[in-house]
Chains A and B, each alone.
Chain A
């Protein structure tokens, strides 16, 4: 059984609609740790030692957050900057993350069609996530395709609940190692693994 750490970042969780549903109750599942960063560090004063211990204790790391300016909310960047140290996460002696899995769970306002060369966002989600892919490479981690919920401004509750079901399926699959990683590697989104089997 693999252990999963969800690093959740939402600076206005109270007002969130989608993420409230997605995140609700996931930590009731065995093997899943939900770490709400803005709740843990209201002053952004990240406890580096504690965070590194937490990462150490898990096999799969998920950045779960709304997609802000094609990236993460500020605290996750702060987390990367401070926790992923040279000599710990990367460098000659930095092998603590080696072999762990990492990917993102995103909610984005734009539809998928907006994220292509013809769309107003010009680039695909995968292109925009390159810095994270490279972060994984440098830390010798296995990068998995992102799980994306698009069109959050117009999505219905029913659709969100469907995404939630997929999310839970995904978490259970990763935890129980029932997901075919070779198949997954060829997918653009993690979602596709479930929708076009």
Chain B
């Protein structure tokens, strides 16, 4: 198929995704498999809607992986990374080292030079971050122990790519014939020819710069942008942040995914975290989908058809070796059998780094291209098989264990926040501080960047964002929250937030600040769980003070204010039934207010008309002892 122009290509990709992914989801196969299938179908070897340019698309779409790691970083506080250090270096180190050694051994037995064997071993030791994280996320396993451990291994592998790229050139075999001259990927970095200590220093320098900028500069910049009140500008800035980090890392020859991951971790504590998350998320989804399609399209069926036994034999060896190594390590790290199964099945494939490393190895005369090409097919097939293997584990193996891993059990990565407060001005922050004083740490959202900045200086974890947007509420954890407190001061915004919540999280309890009787009525119609009229309490306290200054007894006045408040709170739901009819509302409200005033006055003068009767002795005197006292 010829190039066909941008629109035709976009049409093919989008149609394939729109058709294949929902079908795959419906069949319970997960979106990753859907994309891969879509890729296979439109790829050059089946229907041929797209040709070899699929490779270019893949390079472009790899950026989705970079964005995914940025988002993963955003979810992780630095303290979490510290907590995971054992599994990152323990699990990850052993997995990469042992797998590489075993595969190298197999390669040498098959008659390859040790250099070639080592390169293949290191290449195959790496797993696919994209497929694993996407699949685990989709199954809701990311925050379980198995998910965390899998993530730790992937993180280690991402770090390991740097030294692997550094040592590969030294493995070059003289006289190895290579057809390809494709060195575009990693040979033209800015630091070529630098001594090792120079690149190390530079690497450390760049990473420190990212950390420093993320901590001190980015928030300032985002605040400035947020104040312009242009949504798309914020999105542009977020994209710019990710792309510039990736570009910087590529320039000095580091993995862009690792760089954005670091940037994400640094920004995990920023007030713009949820906003960044919601802005980057759709791009990530799009590019990652494209990436999976490209992987599917790259599977060379001609090559497979030529030597099916060899290819599938290698796929089987690759998956078996990786699985066994992972399983044994998991066993030594005391993972339960069921968790170990999830962990081992999820990571038993080649990864997207293999494509890069294999072409790098070919261009460095370590592996000849007639060896590399089948290996690329092997990696792609193993990636495509991963969702199937995980499905196999989920449907056939896991049910054999009595104890299914519950998400609750290992929630180290989960934040313990169950309350969200939308609107963190004077009103909301008073609520927030009061809750904190009682050990409840909520997630706070506010739309005013200056206010967010100020409160951050008071060490309050406030996030910037508009709580009436579903994506932001979702990022703030509305799906898992028990309670949302709406404390914003704009009645229209309040209504919008309530509407969004009612539509998307009908089970979430809503406690809402109301600025007027009228807005209370409509909020009740919207179905909120509790309303607080923001002026009622303080006005009644002031009224009580006034009575006291006029010489009324304090306790009596206080009790009167409570009676008054209780009655008003009782009216509101009653009046909400007639509020649409203005004149009826006025007459009904008037009736109730007059009755309340009259009955309270009466009670004051004539004790035994209403309550407080027990404190009034006039009745008893009448019956038992009049005249005697």
- Interface residues, chain A, with chain B CB atoms under 8 Å away: 43, 45, 48, 80-87, 91-92
Shortest C-beta distance, A115 to chain B (Å), equals 30
Residue contact A48 to B562, C-beta cutoff 8 Å: no
Residue contact B620 to A81, C-beta cutoff 8 Å: no
- In chain B, positions 447-478 with a C-beta closer than 8 Å to chain A are none
CA A45 – CA B562 in complex, angstroms? 8
Closest to A88 in B: B613
Which of A43, A45, A84, A87 is in CB contact (< 8 Å) with B619?
A87
Which 8 residue pairs across A and B have the least CB separation, nearest first? A82-B614, A81-B614, A86-B619, A85-B613, A86-B620, A48-B611, A45-B562, A85-B614
Which A residues lie within 8 Å of B612 (CB)? 82
Give the most central of B562, B563, B613, B615: most A CB within 10 Å: B613
B566 near A: Cβ within 8 Å?
Answer: yes
B559 near A: Cβ within 8 Å?
Answer: yes
B623 near A: Cβ within 8 Å?
Answer: yes
Shortest C-beta distance, B623 to chain A (Å), equals 6
CA A86 – CA B620 in complex, angstroms? 7
Which A residues lie within 8 Å of B614 (CB)? 48, 80-86
Residue contact B615 to A91, C-beta cutoff 8 Å: no
A48-B611, A82-B615 are known contacts; what are 16 more A-B pairs with Cβ within 8 Å? A43-B562, A45-B559, A48-B613, A80-B614, A81-B614, A81-B615, A82-B612, A82-B613, A85-B613, A85-B614, A86-B614, A86-B619, A86-B623, A87-B619, A91-B619, A91-B623
Which B residues lie within 8 Å of A87 (CB)? 619
Which B residues lie within 8 Å of A85 (CB)? 613-614
B556-588 contact mask (Cβ, 8 Å, vs A): 1 or 0: 000100110010000000000000000000000
- In chain B, positions 519-560 with a C-beta closer than 8 Å to chain A are 559
Which B residues lie within 8 Å of A91 (CB)? 619-620, 623
B589-629 contact mask (Cβ, 8 Å, vs A): 1 or 0: 00000000000000000000001111100011001000000
Shortest C-beta distance, A177 to chain B (Å), equals 32
Shortest C-beta distance, B565 to chain A (Å), equals 10
Shortest C-beta distance, B540 to chain A (Å), equals 13
Give the most central of A81, A85, A86: most B CB within 10 Å: A86
Shortest C-beta distance, B510 to chain A (Å), equals 21
Residue contact A92 to B613, C-beta cutoff 8 Å: no
CA A45 – CA B611 in complex, angstroms? 11
Which B residues lie within 8 Å of A86 (CB)? 613-614, 619-620, 623
Shortest C-beta distance, B90 to chain A (Å), equals 41
CA A80 – CA B613 in complex, angstroms? 12
CA A84 – CA B613 in complex, angstroms? 9
A and B contact pairs by CB, cutoff 8 A, 21 listed: A45-B559, A45-B566, A48-B611, A48-B613, A48-B614, A81-B614, A81-B615, A82-B611, A82-B612, A82-B613, A82-B614, A83-B614, A85-B613, A85-B614, A86-B613, A86-B619, A86-B620, A87-B619, A91-B619, A91-B623, A92-B623
Which A residues lie within 8 Å of B611 (CB)? 48, 82
Shortest C-beta distance, B530 to chain A (Å), equals 15
CA A173 – CA B615 in complex, angstroms? 37
CA A43 – CA B555 in complex, angstroms? 12
Shortest C-beta distance, A13 to chain B (Å), equals 15
Give the most central of B615, B619, B623: most A CB within 10 Å: B623
CA A43 – CA B566 in complex, angstroms? 12
Which A residues lie within 8 Å of B615 (CB)? 81-82
Which B residues lie within 8 Å of A82 (CB)? 611-615
CA A92 – CA B562 in complex, angstroms? 33
Which A residues lie within 8 Å of B563 (CB)? 45
CA A80 – CA B614 in complex, angstroms? 8
Shortest C-beta distance, A50 to chain B (Å), equals 11
Shortest C-beta distance, B13 to chain A (Å), equals 59
CA A84 – CA B612 in complex, angstroms? 11
Closest to A48 in B: B611
Closest to A79 in B: B614
Which B residues lie within 8 Å of A43 (CB)? 562
- In chain B, positions 254-282 with a C-beta closer than 8 Å to chain A are none
CA A86 – CA B559 in complex, angstroms? 22
Which B residues lie within 8 Å of A84 (CB)? 614
Closest to B620 in A: A86
Shortest C-beta distance, B607 to chain A (Å), equals 11
Which A residues lie within 8 Å of B566 (CB)? 45
Which A residues lie within 8 Å of B619 (CB)? 86-87, 91
CA A48 – CA B611 in complex, angstroms? 7
Closest to B566 in A: A45
Shortest C-beta distance, B347 to chain A (Å), equals 46
